[in-house]
Amino acid sequence: MVPLDFSTMPTYKIIYDRKNCIGVSSCALLADKFWVMNREDDKAVLVGSKTKGHDVWELKIDEKDLEVNKEAARNCPVNVIRIYDEEGKEVSC
């Protein structure tokens, strides 16, 4: 059996527009490793992300975490979760 070389796996970027989150929490229910709810303002928090300013957050993920985050993005009623590939193209959710 050949071991997997994770260093060559594609990476993706989640861009989260937190200021427009309405706190439905579907992301946290579907991908609780990445999304939790902030009890102070009832908005989602993208775990481990870094701010890009203006309450927009970014997190790099590996391909193994893509599907669960696509499901979170697909179920967000206000579409504040976007996922981009290494070339900067938005991934269809």
CATH number at residue 56: 3.30.70.20
Higher pLDDT, 1 or 64: 64
Please indicate, yes or no, if residue 91 is contained in any of the structural domains: no
- Tens-digit pLDDT profile for residues 3-16: 656 566 789 999 99
Please indicate, yes or no, if residue 90 is contained in any of the structural domains: no
Answer yes or no: are the C-beta atoms of 24 and 87 closer than 8 Å: no
- Tens-digit pLDDT profile for residues 27-84: 999 999 999 999 999 999 999 999 999 999 999 999 999 999 999 999 999 999 999 9
Q: Which two tokens stand for residue 54?
A: 């203006």
Radius of gyration of the chain (CA): 14
**Domain range for 60:** 19-84
Please give the tally of structural domains in the chain: 1
Given the DSSP bridges, would you call strands 35-38 and 43-46 parallel, antiparallel or unpaired?
antiparallel
Please indicate, yes or no, if residue 11 is contained in any of the structural domains: no
Please indicate, yes or no, if residue 1 is contained in any of the structural domains: no
pLDDT at position 49, please?
98
| Cα–Cα distance measured from residue 45 to residue 8, given in angstroms and rounded to the nearest whole number | 28
Please indicate, yes or no, if residue 13 is contained in any of the structural domains: no
Please indicate, yes or no, if residue 24 is contained in any of the structural domains: yes
Amino acid at the residue 52: K
